[in-house]
Structure 1
Amino acid sequence: EAPGSTTRRGLPRSPGAPGAFLYSGFLSHAECDHLIKLAKGRLEKSMVADNESGKSVMSQVRTSSGTFLSKREDEIISGIEKRVAAWTFLPEENAESMQVLHYEVGQKYDAHFDYFSDKKNVKRGGHRVATVLMYLTDVKKGGETVFPIAEGRDLQHKDETWSECARHGLAVKPRKGDVLLFFSLHVNATTDPSSLHASCPVVEGEKWSATKWIHVRSFDNPPDVMTDARCSDDNEQCPRWAALGECYKNAKYMVGTKDTLGSCRKSCGVCDA
């Protein structure tokens, strides 16, 4: 069981609402503080995936800063990843590395889908089927996660403690230790438009969160990875990760194994460009 409260509840649900569940106290406060401590000093401007090319690009749609923490980077991260897999019933290997995000006053992430529109990102692991959003701090005001077109928005009462942004949809307040799980695909594997969501601007205070995106297939060992033996990097962050020593700390992902190609082989210098 996760530390703290074991309260799990589904958000108001109607045919046009996403499958979403809130777990109060999934993370202990000590775990939250640990993730923030690891991320500080590594933060960079957050990126978004270009709908055509699939490449990571800067955009005013997303104004936070963030960083990825390697899978199984330490015992605490490993424990969280195991609990996420147990709660979602989705294998650890289907998940991307944890991304920690920091939002200051006015920073936000406009409405978007977590499933992909480009073929490049879908190729590795398939669509993102689920998002596990961990709130690492309380926020004085703002910073809510809002589903703007979910039909269940009319069932949710909101008082003056909610931001104006949160009033325009089904919303969840960030509370330290709570975790929101929502699905981007229907049970028949088609994309769910009602999973459209946004991170409302922070009005007072600051917001820290951590996200685990989980794919329909293995993200660590995609079945078609050996068909592409080019000497290249799959992510523009590869040079930075390599400089931080990830070629050794996270060799399976960065370099690969005898059976799988890594995602940053060029930056790790294990092939001839």
Structure 2
Amino acid sequence: MGLISPLSLSFLFCFIFTTHVRSFDPTRVTQLSWRPRAFLYKGFLSHEECDHLISLARDKLEKSTVIWKECDGEVRTSSGMFLSTHQDEIVTRIEQRIASWTFLPEENGEAIQVLRYEIGQKYEPHFDYFVDKVNIARGGHRFATVLMYLSNVEKGGETVFPIAEGALTQQKNESWSDCAKKGYAVKPDKGDALLFFSLHINATTDPLSLHGSCPVIVGEKWSATKWIHVGSYTRPTRVGNGECADENLLCPQWAAAGECQKNPLYMVGSKTFPGFCRKSCRMCS
């Protein structure tokens, strides 16, 4: 499948799954905001699926970084790891369900990232779209984000949109953290999924999509993120003509930060998909 406009994708997806698979159910979806466009799906994952994702990630977690620069230890303080696309049957079904909900093809999505936030850990407000041409070169901007909550949190850990519509009018009681009270917020509830769009329908960036993860106050927060691009992410245009080379200017920096091990599908590749930083990962013969 080649590059396809996100606005003409509805005919590509079937909503029928086998009876043992949790299928897409539009009655579980609630619109939270139109500026930015944000939707909450109650019970998107079963508790068994949540536990499975955690089990895949628990012993492979590394300190989180931010894609456009080295993390300074204050912006993003969680730990995380990337699963492999279609890693197993359960992961494959979740990826298919995300495609059905978003009407965006699987090939436009990055691999699922599993994150753990311990007490005090957070992610300061940020945008998921890019501000540099290097990251846009692969699949274009991140168009949509699906954030799946894998655990309940006793207090804190909310996803907050500081400048979204409703930021000042959402009613909150003492069960919300002070951070959550500074914007429109969503509490982490095991199995729920939050879908929001970083671009407008006309493909321009939406600054109202600014969002962050509030510090965990009591408990532990597990989540899984799926970023979906405007174009194909797994089959982007190659610039190296099959040569063992770096195809991103940031490859040396990422390799030095350990991304060859943390994100091997993109950096090194697989038997059928050559990675984009093979030279920096020392994969050239």
TM norm. shorter chain > 0.5? yes
Given that 1:3 and 1:25 are in contact with CA atoms closer than 8 Å, whether structure 2 keeps it comes out as no
- Partner residue, 1:265: 278
Unaligned stretches of 5+ in structure 1? Answer: none
- Partner residue, 2:38: 20
- Partner residue, 1:60: 74
- Partner residue, 1:239: 260
Deviation at 1:271, TM superposition (A): 2.6
Distance 1:111 1:69 in 2: 24
Question: Within the alignment, does 1:178 sit opposite 2:199 as a pair?
Answer: no
Distance 2:246 2:110 in 1: 19
Give the alignment's Cα RMSD to 1 decimal. Answer: 2.5
Q: Summarize the alignment of residues 44-55 of structure 1 with structure 2, pairs less than 5 Å apart.
A: 44-50=62-68, 55=69
Distance 1:269 1:255 in 2: 15
Question: Within the alignment, does 1:124 sit opposite 2:142 as a pair?
Answer: no
Given that 2:266 and 2:276 are in contact with CA atoms closer than 8 Å, whether structure 1 keeps it comes out as no
TM norm structure 2: 0.83
Distance 2:48 2:128 in 1: 28
TM norm structure 1: 0.86
Deviations 1:48-105 (A, max 9, x none): 123xxxx554441000000000001110000000000010000111000100000001
Amino acid across the alignment from 1:83: R
Deviation at 1:137, TM superposition (A): 0.2
Of residues 233, 249, 269, the one that matches 1:254 is 269
Shift in alpha-carbon separation, 1:198–1:20, aligned structure 2, 3 A:
same
Shift in alpha-carbon separation, 1:47–1:204, aligned structure 2, 3 A:
same
- Partner residue, 2:59: 41
- Partner residue, 2:115: 101
Larger deviation, residues 58-67 vs 207-216: 58-67
Unaligned stretches of 5+ in structure 2? Answer: 1-16
Distance 1:67 1:93 in 2: 20
Shift in alpha-carbon separation, 1:209–1:241, aligned structure 2, 3 A:
closer
Shift in alpha-carbon separation, 1:114–1:256, aligned structure 2, 3 A:
farther
Paired residues, number = 257
Deviation at 1:203, TM superposition (A): 0.7
Shift in alpha-carbon separation, 1:253–1:93, aligned structure 2, 3 A:
farther
Deviation at 1:155, TM superposition (A): 3.2
Question: Within the alignment, does 1:8 sit opposite 2:8 as a pair?
Answer: no
SS in 2 for 1:125: coil
- Partner residue, 2:204: 190
Distance 1:176 1:225 in 2: 42
Deviations 1:197-256 (A, max 9, x none): 0100001101000000000000011124445845237443443259xxx5xxx5997146
Given that 1:114 and 1:128 are in contact with CA atoms closer than 8 Å, whether structure 2 keeps it comes out as yes
Distance 1:198 1:94 in 2: 23
Amino acid across the alignment from 2:126: H
Distance 1:12 1:216 in 2: 21
Larger deviation, residues 221-230 vs 22-31: 221-230
Deviations 1:1-21 (A, max 9, x none): 7369851101044xxx20000
Given that 2:24 and 2:100 are in contact with CA atoms closer than 8 Å, whether structure 1 keeps it comes out as no
Given that 1:225 and 1:261 are in contact with CA atoms closer than 8 Å, whether structure 2 keeps it comes out as no
Q: Summarize the alignment of residues 134-149 of structure 1 with structure 2, pairs less than 5 Å apart.
A: 134-149=148-163
Distance 1:125 1:251 in 2: 13
Given that 1:4 and 1:28 are in contact with CA atoms closer than 8 Å, whether structure 2 keeps it comes out as no
Deviation at 1:119, TM superposition (A): 1.3
Shift in alpha-carbon separation, 1:132–1:270, aligned structure 2, 3 A:
same
- Partner residue, 1:210: 224
SS in 1 for 2:202: coil
Shift in alpha-carbon separation, 1:7–1:253, aligned structure 2, 3 A:
farther
Identity %: 59
Distance 1:160 1:228 in 2: 57
- Partner residue, 1:74: 88
